[in-house]
Structure 1
Amino acid sequence: MNRDSLLFHADFRRLFAGDTASQLGTFVGVTAIPLLAAVTLAATPFEMGLLTTAETLGFLLIGLPAGVWVDRLRKRPVMLAADLARAALILSIPLTWWAGGLTMVQLIVVVLFVGIGTVFFDVSYQAYLPALVGRDRLLEGNAKLQGVQSSAQIAGPSAAGVLVQFVGAASTVLVTGLGYLASALCLWRIRTVEQLPEKTGHERLVPQMLEGLKFVFTDKPLRAIVACTATANLFGAAAQAVQVLFLTRTAGLPPAAVGGLLAVGGIGGILGALFAGAIIRRVGQARSIWLLPMLVWPGNLLVPLAGPGWRVPLAGFGLALAGFGVILYNVAQVSYRQAITPDRLLGRMNASVRFVVWGTMPLGGLLGGALGEGLGLTGALWTAVIGQLAAALWVVCSPLRHMRDLPVGEKAVVVPA
């Protein structure tokens, strides 16, 4: 192993380990909680839409002020508090189930408040990485962390499908809570001391929120990236709202098969993380952001074809292809965002971007539920995956299409091999 690798950076290793535990738990929950709702609690398509909406509603409700608050604080304590709060909330699900009192209302409320904790964690997390590893190593750090996410996307749903089959969905959710606790322990062991952010000339909430939004929307490439991601997330959440119902009720797959199929997308993600540096360097960072989605995101069109027999691996291949493209896109665009943003604005930039791109997801959840009721599960899923593919038009029709690399100050981003 190259000794210049961030894996020789002690505190990055602790962040990496915590992220591994957290992501594994998260992706177990991503499969187990919808299965709990769909199979155990017999949720309707509209209730599944509400559940999907609750997951990301926090970004719409408090995303912008969270960025201001995070910019005023050290990031690691915020992340620790968020992990502990999410663990306590998630662990209430199996406890209530064992007591015989779990309802869809409680499930939706818990998911809503876990999502609010995720707002603070994610805004802090992306603002913390530059302070931990330095701006010159952002691409390497993001690629490694994206690799963790993709690995968890394979292991989490696969493990969840099997566990749900044998111990039940509510008991499987324990893994998610334990993942958050393990993440908190790893963060607590980080020794790098953050500087307390300097106070700016105006401490009022609204002007600081507007400063973050202005920074995001006055940069034309960043504006196109935000519009693309927001649209993809809108229709991605619509697909998520009906996907488990489609796979269990229309395609007729058992929980273990559903978990395995959802895990396959992570294989493409791992390959994307492994080869992100080489591919982005060869293709160009700007070109990667618009060209690669056009080439590989169409894999999502194979998902509505899922069914018994040969159609399961066909849908799995589509998920893997799309997952490969999503990781390359995210590594390129997140590294660009972090590289061009002054330290004092990192939290607000991340919060402003998340407010827009995650703020569409609650609406997407409601859209998916409504489409499921009106068009049926198959029609809703087709509509959603076509909308995800169309999202790439924002970056295809932007100034990015005429660029190879993205300008940062007076020079382009250079992607290391």
Structure 2
Amino acid sequence: MSGASSKLWRDRDFRRLWAGQTVSQLGEHTSLVVLPLFAVLTLHAGAGQLGALRAVGQAPILLLSLFVGAWVDRWRTRTPMVLADAGRALALGAAAVAGLLGGLGLPALFVVAFAVGALSVFFDVAYQASLVRLVARDQLVRGNSALEGSRSAAQIGGPALGGALVTTLSAPIAAATGALFFALSFLSIRRIGRRESVPKRPAHPPLLRRHIHEGLRFVAGDATLRAVCLASAAFQFFFSAVTTGCLLFLPRELRLPGTVVGLTLAATGPGALLGSLLAARLPGRFGRGAVLLSAATLGDGAFLLVPALHGSPAVTVPALLAVNVVFGTCGQLVNVTIMAVRQTVTPDGMQGRAAATINFVGMGLAPLGSLLGGLLADAWGTRAGLLVTAAGMLLSPAVMALSPLGRPGRALPAPPDACAATGAHDR
């Protein structure tokens, strides 16, 4: 372990944040599998009801992100994180008890899914903003690498654990396990003792709507953050289209069974773990711009190989595994590097709003991308539709190349003057 990494891990508050975020992400990704299985296996929900349940759980990203970003910037980040953990633990715990007693119906499960989704928005925006207030700016890349590495591990282990618990025990017990994870995160994060540099609130704070508008204007007015926002939007739009195309192409054209399809898609998880490790070293060695452009181009371009696949599973499955490992590695390398850039160029008083604005714009286009993937598959065939949408993913690195993100250099950019960025009334 290098001296810089050792210094980071000697920080007790960072370790508490990392531990809390790790088990919280494990609880979140476990619940993403447990709640749908609860509906199908215990409540015998149909396909339409299951789709509606997933949509209800995802809706808070679009409905709440901007408001949460503005709210988080007004408070110590520990506050929304511990409240979100406590709320999710209570929601899943109540669902588990009601399920064991046979008193949980679909309407109540919809409420639980929305509550868990909404509180996850609070937690995710707050933990991204919290790192900037806990560690020095020259530690952001390593800190993000550690946090994103644990998130990747949760993405791999959470769904597998949730499915195993539902299969071997029961859906209510699996929900109770998710509640336990959130309770452990609550206990870890509430022990963070360092005072944060929360922006001083004026005697007459601006309306929340004005606070949100300031965040939108700040992201739109900064060339680097504007590029991050546009690149994220392009990626989410076309990646959603590609995902829809893959879910049609793999079983229909390549004749792969569902279990094999799931195995190939899961290969992004180990790749993401590798990308988190590389993100702690490569930008400092080769320069931020070179790493971003090469990783984004290689990772997004890897999907161009998928519509070219033919033949038996002995040929196509290893190729699909390789594509997803490359995509996971490069995608995580891009995510960690861009997050460090975004956090560095954003003043402390704007961290939550900047993260929420970028998440809102990027995720807001994802449903439209999914719709496009299905329409192209119907109109042109799955192979041609997948080829077009995979090519569209290269728009994201193109945006980076034409922006400050593509500039060479190893050092992170200097943050702007906080007062100029947030307005005099915020200080």
In 1, are the aligned partners of 2:89 and 2:179 still within 8 Å (CA)?
Answer: yes
Aligned pairs for 1:348-363 (under 5 A) are: 348-361=353-366, 363=368
Deviates more, 1:321-330 or 1:171-180: 171-180
Deviations 1:252-298 (A, max 9, x none): 234xx666544421211111111213222233212322331111223
Aligned pairs for 1:151-190 (under 5 A) are: 151-167=153-169, 171-190=173-192
CA distance in 1, matches of 2:174, 2:370: 23
Q: In structure 2, do the counterparts of structure 1 residues 338 and 366 end up closer, same or farther at CA, with 3 Å as the change threshold?
A: same
| Residue aligning to 1:264 | 267
| Residue aligning to 1:79 | 81
| Residue aligning to 2:137 | 135
Deviations 1:291-325 (A, max 9, x none): 31111223445678799655444323222211111
Deviates more, 1:335-344 or 1:149-158: 149-158
| Residue aligning to 1:323 | 328
Deviates more, 1:156-165 or 1:345-354: 156-165
Would you say 1:89 and 2:111 are equivalent positions? Answer: no
CA distance in 2, matches of 1:151, 1:158: 11
Deviations 1:136-162 (A, max 9, x none): 211111011111112223322333444
In 1, are the aligned partners of 2:237 and 2:369 still within 8 Å (CA)?
Answer: yes
Q: CA shift at 1:131, angstroms?
A: 1.4
Would you say 1:273 and 2:276 are equivalent positions? Answer: yes
Deviates more, 1:316-325 or 1:163-172: 163-172
Q: In structure 2, do the counterparts of structure 1 residues 97 and 140 end up closer, same or farther at CA, with 3 Å as the change threshold?
A: same
CA distance in 2, matches of 1:120, 1:373: 38
Q: In structure 2, do the counterparts of structure 1 residues 100 and 199 end up closer, same or farther at CA, with 3 Å as the change threshold?
A: same
Count of aligned pairs: 408
In 2, are the aligned partners of 1:68 and 1:208 still within 8 Å (CA)?
Answer: yes
Deviates more, 1:192-201 or 1:218-227: 192-201
Aligned pairs for 1:9-408 (under 5 A) are: 9-33=11-35, 41=44, 43-44=46-47, 50-100=52-102, 106-167=108-169, 171-200=173-202, 202-237=205-240, 251-254=256-259, 260-300=263-303, 311-361=316-366, 363-364=368-369, 387-401=392-406, 403-404=408-409, 408=413
CA distance in 2, matches of 1:378, 1:123: 37
Q: Secondary structure at the match of 1:358?
A: helix
Q: In structure 2, do the counterparts of structure 1 residues 96 and 380 end up closer, same or farther at CA, with 3 Å as the change threshold?
A: farther
| Residue aligning to 1:415 | none
In 1, are the aligned partners of 2:92 and 2:175 still within 8 Å (CA)?
Answer: yes
Q: Secondary structure at the match of 1:322?
A: helix
In 2, are the aligned partners of 1:64 and 1:348 still within 8 Å (CA)?
Answer: yes
CA distance in 2, matches of 1:101, 1:372: 42
Q: CA shift at 1:342, angstroms?
A: 1.5
CA distance in 2, matches of 1:7, 1:278: 16
Between the two structures, name the one with larger relative contact order (CA 8 Å, sep ≥ 6): 1
Deviates more, 1:33-42 or 1:8-17: 33-42
Q: CA shift at 1:62, angstroms?
A: 2.2
Q: CA shift at 1:236, angstroms?
A: 3.9
Deviates more, 1:279-288 or 1:392-401: 392-401
What is the letter of the counterpart of residue 5 of structure 1? K
In 2, are the aligned partners of 1:154 and 1:266 still within 8 Å (CA)?
Answer: yes
Deviates more, 1:168-177 or 1:290-299: 168-177
Query: How high is the TM-score relative to the length of structure 2?
Result: 0.80
Deviations 1:346-391 (A, max 9, x none): 2222222222223334555666788899999989877765554544
Gaps of 5+ in 1: 412-417
Q: Secondary structure at the match of 1:26?
A: helix
In 1, are the aligned partners of 2:21 and 2:127 still within 8 Å (CA)?
Answer: no
CA distance in 2, matches of 1:236, 1:146: 20
Deviates more, 1:349-358 or 1:119-128: 349-358
Deviates more, 1:32-41 or 1:173-182: 32-41
Q: In structure 2, do the counterparts of structure 1 residues 85 and 300 end up closer, same or farther at CA, with 3 Å as the change threshold?
A: farther
Give the number of the structure whose alpha-carbon radius of gyration is greater.
Answer: 2
Deviates more, 1:48-57 or 1:120-129: 48-57
CA distance in 1, matches of 2:370, 2:103: 26
What is the letter of the counterpart of residue 154 of structure 2? A
What is the letter of the counterpart of residue 270 of structure 1? L
Identity, in percent, stands at 36
Query: How high is the TM-score relative to the length of structure 1?
Result: 0.81
Q: In structure 2, do the counterparts of structure 1 residues 38 and 297 end up closer, same or farther at CA, with 3 Å as the change threshold?
A: farther
CA distance in 1, matches of 2:238, 2:111: 23
